[in-house]
């Protein structure tokens, strides 16, 4: 099948289907070719051309195919073998062309478990029928997407057709500074240098702007030879810096040299938009050691930034990485963030800093935050697939394909036993591509959850984790700050029915809907980054009007997290107001679907001002957030209600203190609006909505989007009304009880069999606070009395389970009354 209006030459040049590397001319044609090839009928080789008088010598050749050879004989495989994955055949050229020999095919990998060989009618020329192989469950479906495996190359990212991409692979080493990196002294916005632009200097790097909307994508981006956006050097004595950003997550558009060692830089806005400039990541070559360079980014969008409070840019020297093992580090002096003097509206803001390069002729990088690219994620998943231990309880599947055809991965993590009675936890990250700290927090979460730690084993036995580590791979690939290739913010699109425009969030929501029908989702958390507030905090959902217990319970998980990470997480910075402008965010949509504990976790681009520190976050700090989330989840779901009840009482006291008065005669929180409990949410300052996706306005529309009726909320006991912001009194937090211990929940009986058994788990976690100074009260380890527990060296010197819980800071009263002991909270009352 050849699509109308598309010549064979053009299709042959650009490839067929979203799976290959180019245009998508016919979805059904593309799907069937990929499907047949995947199961061994196609090898993905060019079809040989035949002469005008050629006749097929095979007596079984189907009629009407004399003009081109059948691909079926070429797909012959011995038993248990299939064709290479995701390689599509080129279209059959017309008759009359000269015959060409078929190139030899590479050796094919073994077939996967559960795949049967083709039926006898599929084989040509009397070849014997191979025996069927059953190495898995018969009829088990196979994914038709390229997934990372321990063998073979990684699937290459797909780029919009107008993006040029250099062939070099950009990778960075992980490194943690031996000492904290303090904030620099804030300079304030009072100083603003004279505006310098193209008329005051020489353009040394310039990329042409892209098109107005997304049309199609291919591996490697724009075809043909690359242009030369950088000005050539005049000789060895030329000290002009060479800039480059045509690689994953790079986004520098222009560099103007306005002095011997001073440059004014312009960032490329998010593709198919004219705004959202915050993230930056670019490469510099031809450096000179000694001179003091000044760089000024002249088109940032946000009026306030942590750069104005002492944050410094990140710097990477390739020479230092290769010779000394030093990776990303904070550099920069005289860091200033101020409003530009151009007078244009909307106003542009400038970031300016000075720095010295450590070596002559070095290759260096500057970035807004620690980069984590789509290829970084694929390398991680490939290592996971090649690990025989971790891959036993972690499966990697394709949630969907992005607009450009990049795979949105879904990880399911759990122990193999007793899945029917388990509750679910859903986590996601990188809806906003410029918030790379979310990927590092997700990396830490996965590292801990897939480890051999006793708490990790318990979590896998208690819950089924559904993890989407990168919701917006297209935005990450092209270096956007906030948007996808639709030119819109995907974290405002969870309430839409535009699957073709926002496939990642649409399929994530659909997946959660299916999970809610089968089991309870005890927690949803979306990882983000924040550019205006330091520390880590959460946004929750308090719609107002609900019962007192419910409104307090929604604040318990963040409070517990602040106690487990007191030097990073700030509970006073958490906000729970449900704003109309945020109705399309993931946390609010999931909450209205029936997920009581639905949060957005915000990790600052800067660092922490808590616990006596005033320094930037490192990669290990961000990764530790994933571990602390796991730790808090076990505390939150502890069958002993003491910790939950204690935090519930403390939340009640904190809200009374913030309210500044006692409740009314009824003594209920139902009459108190969320606005009285907190000020502005200090959330995103991006526009609420930008209208319909940009590519729907362009000439190359991807196809009509079918309106999907929103499903009714699942009939589960904790769900509430989805109309407006009505009270969801039926929603409540639940704890695993002793009755569920055989299904993977806590129990206080002896014996334990983790990750693979159905016996009772004997993991009883200690209270958050210590009963008396020096007494830990931990019974999580079967150690002899007086035995010394050695601290673990991982997670930055975190102690083992026994010593870690005992070392937690005590719960302080903060002016509250002693918690009542008799009544049980609504959460732990349900079994």
Catalytic residues: 602
The residues near 150 (Cβ < 8 Å, ≥ 6 apart) are 382, 383, 385, 386
Helix, strand, or coil (residue 626): helix
Closest CA to 616 of 315, 339, 357: 315
75: exposed, middle or buried (Cβ count in 10 Å: 0-12, 13-18, 19+): buried
Hey, how many other C-beta atoms are within 10 angstroms of the C-beta on 225? 7
Closest CA to 763 of 376, 462, 506, 525: 462
**Cα angle, residue 297 at apex, residues 294 and 302 outer, rounded to 5°:** 140
Helix, strand, or coil (residue 369): coil
Helix, strand, or coil (residue 810): coil
For residues 531 and 305, what is the distance between their CA atoms, to the nearest angstrom? Answer: 6
Beta strands in 117-206 (DSSP E): 158-160, 202-206
For residues 215 and 162, what is the distance between their CA atoms, to the nearest angstrom? Answer: 9
First to last CA, the chain: 58
Contact 101, 72 (CB under 8 A): no
H helix or E strand, kind and range, residue 399: strand 394-401
Cα dist from 425 to 171, 381, 455, 711, whole Å: 32, 20, 16, 21
For residues 747 and 495, what is the distance between their CA atoms, to the nearest angstrom? Answer: 40
DSSP-assigned letter for residue 391: G
Contact 559, 552 (CB under 8 A): no
Closest CA to 328 of 581, 113, 99, 620: 620
DSSP-assigned letter for residue 289: B
For residues 183 and 306, what is the distance between their CA atoms, to the nearest angstrom? Answer: 10
Hey, how many other C-beta atoms are within 10 angstroms of the C-beta on 747? 22
User: How large is the angle between the packed helices 374-385 and 437-449, nearest 10 degrees?
Assistant: 10
Contact 53, 9 (CB under 8 A): no
**Cα angle, residue 503 at apex, residues 502 and 505 outer, rounded to 5°:** 75
In degrees and rounded to multiples of 5, residue 650 shows phi and psi of -70, -40
Question: Max alpha carbon distance in the chain (Å)?
Answer: 98
For residues 351 and 296, what is the distance between their CA atoms, to the nearest angstrom? Answer: 6
Beta strands in 154-259 (DSSP E): 158-160, 202-206, 217-219, 242-244, 252-259
Helix/strand number for the chain, H first, E second: 17, 23
> Rg (Cα) of the chain, in Å, rounded?
29
**Cα angle, residue 827 at apex, residues 822 and 831 outer, rounded to 5°:** 95
Task: Using CA atoms of 811, 812, 813, 819 in order, give the dihedral in degrees to the nearest 10.
Answer: 10
For residues 158 and 755, what is the distance between their CA atoms, to the nearest angstrom? Answer: 37
């Amino acid at each position: 099948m050849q699509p109308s209006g598309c010549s064979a030459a053009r299709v042959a040049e650009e490839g067929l289907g979203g799976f290959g590397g180019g245009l998508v001319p016919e979805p059904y044609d593309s799907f069937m070719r990929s499907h047949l090839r995947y199961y061994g009928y196609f090898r993905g080789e060019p079809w040989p051309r035949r002469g005008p008088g050629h006749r097929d010598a095979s007596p079984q050749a189907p009629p009407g195919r004399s003009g081109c050879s059948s691909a079926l004989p070429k797909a012959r495989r011995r038993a248990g073998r299939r064709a290479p994955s995701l390689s599509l055949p080129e279209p059959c050229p017309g008759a009359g062309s000269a015959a060409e020999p078929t190139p030899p095919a590479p050796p094919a990998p073994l077939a996967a478990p559960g795949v049967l060989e083709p039926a006898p009618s599929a084989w040509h020329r009397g070849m014997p029928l191979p025996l069927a192989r059953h190495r898995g469950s018969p009829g088990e479906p196979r994914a038709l997407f390229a997934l990372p495996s321990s063998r073979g190359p990684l699937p290459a990212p797909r780029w919009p057709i107008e993006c040029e991409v250099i062939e070099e692979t950009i990778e960075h080493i992980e490194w943690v500074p031996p000492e904290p990196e303090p904030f620099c002294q804030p300079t304030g916005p009072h100083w603003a240098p004279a505006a310098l632009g193209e008329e005051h200097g020489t353009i040394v790097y310039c990329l042409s702007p892209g098109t107005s909307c997304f049309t199609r994508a291919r591996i490697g981006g724009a075809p043909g030879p690359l242009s030369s956006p950088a000005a050539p050097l005049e000789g060895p004595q030329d000290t002009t810096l060479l800039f480059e950003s045509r690689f994953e997550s790079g986004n520098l558009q222009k560099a103007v040299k306005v002095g011997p060692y001073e440059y004014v830089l312009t960032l490329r806005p998010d593709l198919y938009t004219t705004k959202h400039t915050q993230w930056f990541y670019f490469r510099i070559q031809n450096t000179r050691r000694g001179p003091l360079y000044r760089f000024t980014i002249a088109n940032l969008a946000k009026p306030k930034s942590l750069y104005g409070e002492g944050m410094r840019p990140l710097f990477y020297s390739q020479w230092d990485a290769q010779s000394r093992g030093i990776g990303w580090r904070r550099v920069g002096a005289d860091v200033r963030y101020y409003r530009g003097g151009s007078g244009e509206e909307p106003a542009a803001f400038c970031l300016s800093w000075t720095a010295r390069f450590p070596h002559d002729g070095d290759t260096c990088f500057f970035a807004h935050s620690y980069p984590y690219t789509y290829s970084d994620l694929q390398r991680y998943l490939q290592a996971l697939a090649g690990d025989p231990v971790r891959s036993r309880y972690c499966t990697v599947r394709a949630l969907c394909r992005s607009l450009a055809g990049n795979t949105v991965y879904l990880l399911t993590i759990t122990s193999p036993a007793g899945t029917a009675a388990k509750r679910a936890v859903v986590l996601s990250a990188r809806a906003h591509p410029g918030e790379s700290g979310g990927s590092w927090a997700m990396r830490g979460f996965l590292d801990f959850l897939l480890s051999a730690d006793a708490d990790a084993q318990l979590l896998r036995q208690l819950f089924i984790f559904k993890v989407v580590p990168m919701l917006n791979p297209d935005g990450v690939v092209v270096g956007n700050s906030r948007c996808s290739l639709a030119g819109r913010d995907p974290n405002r699109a969870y309430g839409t029915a535009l699957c073709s425009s926002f496939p990642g969030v649409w399929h994530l929501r659909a997946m959660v809907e299916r999970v809610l029908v089968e089991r309870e989702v005890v927690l949803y958390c979306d990882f983000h980054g924040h550019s205006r507030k330091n520390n880590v905090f959460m946004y929750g959902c308090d719609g107002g009007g609900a019962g007192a217990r419910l409104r307090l319970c929604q604040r318990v998980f963040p409070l517990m997290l602040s106690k487990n990470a007191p030097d990073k997480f700030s509970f006073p910075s958490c906000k729970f107001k449900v704003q109309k402008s945020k109705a399309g965010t993931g946390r609010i949509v999931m909450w209205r679907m029936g997920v009581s504990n639905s949060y957005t976790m915000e990790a600052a681009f800067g660092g922490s001002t808590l616990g006596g520190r005033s320094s930037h976050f490192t990669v290990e700090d961000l990764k530790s957030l994933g571990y602390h989330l796991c730790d808090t989840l076990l505390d939150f779901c502890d069958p002993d209600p003491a910790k939950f009840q204690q935090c519930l009482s403390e939340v009640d006291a904190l809200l009374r203190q913030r309210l500044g008065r006692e409740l009314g005669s009824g003594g209920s929180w139902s009459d108190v609006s969320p606005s009285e409990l907190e000020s502005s949410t200090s959330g995103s300052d991006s526009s609420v909505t930008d209208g319909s996706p940009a590519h729907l306005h362009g000439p190359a529309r991807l196809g009509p989007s079918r309106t999907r009726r929103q499903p009714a909320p699942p009939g589960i006991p904790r769900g509430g009304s989805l109309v407006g912001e009505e009270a969801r009194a039926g929603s409540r937090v639940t704890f695993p009880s002793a009755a569920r211990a055989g299904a993977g929940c806590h129990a206080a009986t002896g014996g334990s069999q983790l990750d693979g058994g159905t016996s009772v788990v004997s993991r009883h976690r200690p209270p958050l606070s210590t009963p008396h100074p020096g007494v830990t009260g931990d019974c999580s380890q079967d150690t002899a009395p007086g035995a010394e527990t050695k601290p673990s060296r991982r997670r930055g010197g975190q102690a083992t389970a026994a010593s870690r819980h005992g070392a937690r800071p005590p719960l302080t009263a903060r002016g509250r009354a002693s918690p009542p002991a008799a009544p049980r909270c609504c959460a732990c009352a349900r079994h």
